[in-house]
Amino acid sequence: MLIDFNNLNINQLSIETEFEIKIKNFLEEWFSDSETVKVQTSGSTGVPKIFDIEKKKMINSAEMTCNFLGLQEGDTALICLPVEYISGKMMVVRSIVRKLKLIVVDLSTKPVENLNEEIDFCAMTPLQVENSLEKLHLIKNLIIGGAAVSESLKTKIIQTLSLSNSQTKIFETYGMSETLSHIGLKQVAPNSEDFFTVFENVEISKDERGCLKIFAPKVNAEILQTNDLVEIKDRNQFRFLGRIDNVINSGGAKIFPEELEALVKKEISNEVVFLGIEDESLGQKLILVVEGEQSEVLIEKISNIPFEKNFHKPKEFIFLEKIPRTPNGKVNRMELKSIL
pLDDT exceeds cutoff 70 at 42: no
| 54 close to 219: Cβ distance less than 8 angstroms | no
Parallel, antiparallel or unpaired: strands 169-176 and 196-198: unpaired
**Domains 2-243 and 247-339 alike in fold:** no
At residue 106's C-alpha, the angle toward residues 104 and 108, to 5°, is: 125
What is the second-level CATH architecture of the domain 247-339?
Answer: 2-Layer Sandwich (3.30)
Q: What is the pTM of this model?
A: 0.80
Options 3.20.20.70, 1.10.1760.20, 3.40.50.12780, 3.40.50.300; CATH for 2-243 is 3.40.50.12780
State pLDDT tens for residues 303-340: 999 998 889 999 999 999 999 887 656 788 889 988 88
pLDDT at 268: 87
Q: Which of 209, 336, 231 is nearest to 276 (CA)?
A: 336
pLDDT at 152: 79
- Supply the mean pLDDT for the chain: 90
d(CA 236, CA 203): 7
At residue 96's C-alpha, the angle toward residues 95 and 101, to 5°, is: 45
What are the extents of the domains in the chain? Answer: 2-243, 247-339
How would residue 177 be classed by pLDDT, with cut points 50, 70 and 90? confident
